[in-house]
Amino acid sequence: MGRAGLLGLAVAALSLGEAACLVQITHLTDPRPIFGEARAEAERLTGRPGRAHELNVLVWNRDDRELVRVSLPMWIVRKAERRIDWDDDDAFDGDRRAKDHVREALRHVRLEDLEKAGVGILAEVEEEGGDQVLVWLR
């Protein structure tokens, strides 16, 4: 699954509601404490045996001062891979910003990589402009 494929994971989360996942958008000026806590949690999990049960993503957009958090159970990740039409903007309920943030966050990860990975950090990116992404499995 490419960048667009992982975007669908978040789309599935948005469409399935909070019973199965969490999508949260927060406006703030300093994301460092939140990224620090998430990184510490992910590092504590690294190396533990067993399969991952949840995909977690943090995306910080410096220009908008938006922090997007997405937590998805792995069963949604698998289903989204097969069911999302990536060209259908209506699948995103018109929330273009959320779509763009999640697409950016997930562009570096493929489903097959997730299936093989253990728990812990999968990807951490910090752009020159200050945007940040952290992806980890729990």
Give the DSSP H/E element, type plus range, for residue 79: helix 74-83
The predicted pLDDT at position 52 comes to 86
Cα–Cα distance, 61 to 12 (Å, whole number): 22
Our count of domains for the chain comes to 1
Give the DSSP H/E element, type plus range, for residue 7: helix 3-16
Which range of 52-61, 73-82, 84-93 scores highest in mean pLDDT? It is 52-61
Banded model confidence at residue 17, pLDDT cuts 50, 70, 90? very low
Show the CA angle centred on residue 84, arms to residues 83 and 90, nearest 5°. 135
Cα–Cα distance, 100 to 79 (Å, whole number): 21
Give the tens place of pLDDT for each residue, 107-128. Answer: 655 667 676 778 999 889 998 8
Residue 124: give the domain boundaries: 3-137
Which pTM value belongs to this model?
0.68
Average pLDDT, the chain: 75
